[in-house]
Structure 1
């Protein structure tokens, strides 16, 4: 039985008396397994977090005899005091929600992965400052990274409005926008590029630090690729259009070999991408890599006839000082 079925069945068994009790009951089923309960290594792969799987996450009603209840110091009269209590001081709840498990994930990370939207929004409201929303797991993923990976537009936007950093990098140097551009998540890209409106911050309990949205689009990940390069490699033309509209440099070079998006298109004989890029008046059709290779030379070296014809039609130089792989 998949985890989603387990969640659905457990939710059907609960009698929801009001929103508060519903949240409390739901939280009590989100128990991170103790280290001793795990005999399997983490299945995380750096992009698609699988921290929550049948070995990592235990769905069950909290037992009154569990040892993970909060000491309420007689502050709470609620019958739901195990794990988290909606009647206690918010700092107590915050310490529970933002404590890390053996994979470095907080309950906020896990709630996003499990699509527990009501809980996630509540967890965000418990943050004592924006720094709490930037806690990273062992893959250096913030909750915003996870929200993007899960294509959760609502949570993505709420995290941004609450001050989650849009330029936080994961273990591969990817910001959330890098991931969205690579995967072709147009809706998520739209939210990540859109500045935060004042109305979206009214639920915050603290003052937000300034952050630039959209972010610096020339930021490269640890492989040297900007968001534009990743979108080009995936042939996500709609995302390329958004990035260029927001000021991304169409001729920017990736940091390893100095290829532009046009080099990538020519090298892979991606005629659709080539046509898209060549329609721009600011495209440098003769841009050179660090090794002095133009898009035309890359296409010629791979015998990409269609790419060669398109580049020549747009004025690409058909000669070079070197006679090797030159185009006549």
Structure 2
């Protein structure tokens, strides 16, 4: 596979781990070895393991285990089970993982309770194998492939379910390689990713063929305290404008929508800021995804242990309990709150961003 240009610098809001750990099997792949070269150029400690088992050795100190995990990038091999794609409604037909885990410190983190053990960010060395497996899924999905409203997107592959690939890009180059691969794949397909980071410079000159959609994950400045270690929202919107100007289809992921005091004013300003950032872009292809805050008992317990001082409201106030498709219970806003939120967002988006397509509300 022809690789994309290799990013080597730290940029806006770039994460730089304290160490990069590489498993024995990951060193067998050229992409894995290239990540180690970038890490060494950036002055990051590289630890080569003699086997494939990851351990931090802090089982009795969860706070230290969390801190060490968040400072670590592990280069590993995605096993066959990880390369068998799963549907990812309502976002896309299929979930394709370039990595697993995220370096940000969001006190509402969607991954809390979903990933086992300390939250080490793992990036996959066998990227060629992952991408080469995608053609088997072409036309097989049910979210966009068979949707009258979204069929023009083709078969969609979501790369941000368990990670933020842009956050890892200066070290991994995985996102650039995937975008270039989709650019050469002359079929009705689209790669999708969403990010809370903003260093898009390596992506702007890629031959993307219009087959990658970047979405900026955004929340009002009033709620930025819940998104530690990320790029400021203004930088994310500026990056989205740069991507749109470079011909990429783009989107806004407004998530999680938090019904805290003053939310109408805060989210109204956010939507206006997005409109300003995208003003003047010719042939703008813009989508919006609206995701309200929710949590499970398991994720709440993990988040409380990770961020004991967080002021994020995870109490039963204005909440109802619903059962997930996995048989667990999640706490979502009650019907009245949901109705107020949805009516507000649909009205304000129509006013400020009339060209946008709202893909879903959840």
- After TM superposition, the score normalised by the length of structure 2 is 0.28
- Structure showing greater radius of gyration is 1
In terms of fraction of residues, the more strand-rich structure is: 2
Q: Which has the higher helix share?
A: 1
TM-score, normalization by structure 1: 0.30
